Structure formats: structure tokens, C-alpha cells
Amino acid sequence: MIQEEHFEASMVELTKFNTIIICIYRTPNSNINTFIEILDTIINNIISKRKSIIIVGDFNIDFLGSNVNPQLQTMLNSYGLQAIVDVPTRIGFRSQTAIDQIILNKYLWDYNFKVIATGFSDHFAQILQVQMQHINKRRQAAVKEEFRTVRPCTEENVQYLNYLLEEESWEPVFRQTSVNDAYNEFLGTFQYYYNIAMPKKRVKTNQLGNKWVTSGIRVSSTRLRFLNRLMKERNMSEEFKQYYYRYKKIYNRVISEAKKLSNNIRINTAGNKSKAMWDLIKQELGKHKKETRNIEINVNGTNTQDPKVIANVFNDYYTSIAHDILNRNPLQKNIEVNVNAKKYNSGSTFLNPTTEVEVAGIIKKFNNKKSTGVDEISDYIIKKCYPKITHALTYIINLSFSTGYFPDQLKIAKVKPLYQKGLDTEVVNYRPISLICFLKNN
């Protein structure tokens, strides 16, 4: 299914286990960057369909020790995938390599593997045993679990990121004379450590029930409903009525204390305590649930929900709107000339080089925002590790000043259309919200 000059791949889907097995053979001496790019696209498409993945085959890439390609390792880590074969799979007269590999999410299943010599080839065979759970389609349809991909920004992960950055000299950045090359080198290195310290994980977005509801509360709730039915159906004694009222009063007090305890834990463990408090207030007021729906846009008289079509429509509209407005309302040129006005060279500008102290001072003033642009790096993360990257950032900023060029990567934004008013099928009724990279944002 893939061009043979790069690699060959075949796939098998285990429908009962919601899992896809990919078998790969990478052609020796083929372009490894092309291989990584295509494999990344395949994995992303499968993950977006909520499928689990097992990758096996001959990669012709040595996975032993530190020999593995860092770009490939970073890409796999970003999906929570790890290579598990840590022993040689091909032994020659002068080398021992693990070019045959099994890649999966080690935390998803219980598994065992072993490598055996078959005698048929100079490659050893790998046997994988995975304990999978059968997925009940009917039950899955009754309880739909939604997932989203997140990076867990825990204090331990931040400390690990700082530890990795501590060993980085940024020498490849300082060797660059082009601001584009310097920033790309910095971004690639930072994202490499970022993906190791904080790999993406899939988490549930809809937690069924309230966290404060314990098994004891559920038992008491069932008993209270039973007592309530007895109160309505029969003429109960005064003693039973008193017992019912006492039980109900105790039950309500337990519920109240359980909610307080849960709310306190949620606030005290939150990174942004003010936001956590407001989320709780909205939850109590019934305003915390947002209806999620797919955008539907009118394209040439027909409504569509195709994401690619809608993205292209919004992109065409937002990139042409300024030009269209200027054409409809041409600017009036001022033809009056002030002969006494001083003449300045409008092309001149003067910038003093920045310093590490100035850059660090600006970063310290960042908000603790965790929203990200296309680089997936938030202000919060930069603020947490700025002492390790200030030297490199200062060099890049001064290089931009001295050369007069702005990094191309920082010109790219993640744009989200925000509905305003009017028909929600018309593109003109959506306002663009741009999420830009941390360096350009500040």
C-alpha cells in the first residue's frame, strides 16, 4: 500500500478488539524522514478513529541502546507508543542489531514477547502474546466514551523536562546564521525533550457520575428510596416516620460533606485555583455543560459537515476578507503636501540587542495559560523552564534584529472560528480566534 522505494506496509483490523496491526518492511537506505512522515500520517489517522495499534516488522533501523533515530522516537512517543524488543534480532559476524521490532502502547495491555532463532533466516523471529479484552459493540453504543489527547503537565513532568534541558548546550542553534534555521533547530530540540517528558495521552472527556459519590452513598441512596416508597404506600407507625426523617437528615449531611471534600480537593490540586472555583460555581448553577456540535456550513447552496471542505472555506474567507473590504472601500489618498514637513527615511529603524536578563524578565510576566499554537508549547511550560532556554532565545531574537527576518514558523497560527450571531451555516457569522506560538504571542 506504500511506495516500495520507501517502505511496504499491510494492515489487519481485529474488529472484536478495536485494534489494527500494521506490518512494515522499510527498504534499506531509503529516506528515513519520508518514512517517519508517512508513518506519522498513518498512525494519526488510526488514532483519530479511536483504534489501538500494534506495529511489527523489519524497520532496518537499529533500536538497540541510543542508536534509534531521535525523530522516529519522538514521533512514536507523541502517540504513547514504545518499541519493546530490547535484544538483538539479527546477529552478524561484526554486529548485533534490533532492526526487527514490535511497537505498541505498553500501558494498554498485558503482554509477553520472546525472540527465537528459527534457522530459516539471519533474522530472529519475535513472538508476541497480548491479553486483549473483547469489546461489546452493544454496550459500547449504550455508553459512548469520548476521549481527547492531552499532555499531562504535572510538577514531576516539568521537573523532568528541566532535567533534560539542563544537559542541552544549544550549540547547533548558535552555529546558525539564518534566523529560520536557528529557530527551527531550537524548536526541534525543545519539542524532542518536550515529547519525552510529557508524551501525549488519551483521557476520557465524559466522566460518568460525580466524583464525590462513593459506594456507601450509593447504598444509602438505594435504601432511602426504599424507605420513601414505604412512607407513601402504607400507614407507617410514628416510630418508623421518625426513623425515616433521621435517616434522610443524616443522608443529606453526608452528601453535603462529601461534596465539600471533593470540591476542596479539586481546588487545592488545581494549577489555576480561581478557574477551578469558577468552574465549580458554574457547575452548581447548571452552566458547566456545553453542547458540542459539528459546524455545518453552506457551500454553494448545500450544507456540509465535511471537516476538510469547511476548513478550506474558512481559510479562503479569512485570507481574502481584508482584500475584499479594501476593494469595496478604497482608501482616499491625501493629495495635500506639506512643504515644510521634515523628510525622514521611512525605511529606517533602530533596535538595540536584547539581553538574557530582559528576555527572562518578559517570560516571568507570561500568564499561566495552557492554550497552545501549532507548536503545542504553552506559556505555562515556557515560564516553568525559562532559565534553560533563555540563552538560545536571546540569540534567536538578536539574530532576527540583525538580519531583518522573522522566523517563518512564527507566522503560522491555529485559527478557530467562533460563532457570533445570525445563521450558523454562513461563514460570515464566524469570527476567527488565532492561537499563535508562544514567542510571537509575547
276 with 357, same domain? no
Flag whether 157 is in a domain.
Answer: yes
44 with 108, same domain? yes
Which residues lie below 8 Å from residue 47, measured CB to CB, with a gap of 6+?
53, 79, 149, 202
One-letter amino acid at 50 equals: R
15 with 133, same domain? yes
DSSP secondary structure string, 270-336?
Answer: -SSHHHHHHHHHHHHTT----------EEETTEEE--HHHHHHHHHHHHHHHHHHHHHHSPPPP---
Task: Note down pLDDT in tens along the chain; length 442 residues.
Answer: 445 567 788 999 988 888 999 999 988 888 888 888 888 888 888 887 778 899 999 998 888 876 678 788 877 877 778 888 888 888 877 788 888 999 988 777 788 888 888 766 778 888 998 887 665 544 444 444 567 788 888 888 999 999 999 989 999 999 999 999 999 999 999 999 999 998 888 776 654 456 778 878 888 888 888 887 777 766 778 888 888 888 889 999 998 898 888 888 888 877 678 888 888 887 777 665 555 567 888 888 888 888 888 888 888 888 888 787 777 776 555 445 555 555 555 566 677 899 999 999 999 988 888 878 888 888 889 999 999 999 999 999 999 999 989 998 888 888 888 888 888 888 889 988 887 776 655 5
Cα distance between residue 355 and residue 359, in whole Å: 6
Q: Please identify, among 115, 139, 163, the residue that sits at the C-terminal boundary of a domain.
A: 139
Beta partners for residue 23, in sequence order: 10, 56
Strands, sheet with 100-104, edge to edge from the N-terminal-most edge strand: 7-14, 19-26, 52-58, 100-104, 82-83
132 with 234, same domain? no
171 with 75, same domain? no
317 with 280, same domain? no
223 with 183, same domain? no
244 with 278, same domain? yes
pTM value is: 0.50
Flag whether 432 is in a domain.
Answer: yes
Helix (H) or strand (E) holding 430: strand 430-435
| C-alpha distances in Å from residue 231, one per residue of 100, 131, 243, 283 | 70, 51, 11, 33
120 with 15, same domain? yes
Query: In total, how many domains does the chain have?
Result: 4
Q: Please identify, among 139, 162, 179, the residue that sits at the C-terminal boundary of a domain.
A: 139
191 with 88, same domain? no
Flag whether 280 is in a domain.
Answer: yes
Cα 63–Cα 67–Cα 70 angle in degrees, nearest 5 = 90
Q: Please identify, among 204, 224, 240, the residue that sits at the C-terminal boundary of a domain.
A: 204
277 with 315, same domain? no
Flag whether 344 is in a domain.
Answer: no
Flag whether 426 is in a domain.
Answer: yes
The range of the structural domain enclosing residue 276 comes to 215-284
199 with 221, same domain? no
Flag whether 400 is in a domain.
Answer: yes
CATH number of the structural domain spanning residue 37: 3.60.10.10
Flag whether 387 is in a domain.
Answer: yes
Flag whether 29 is in a domain.
Answer: yes
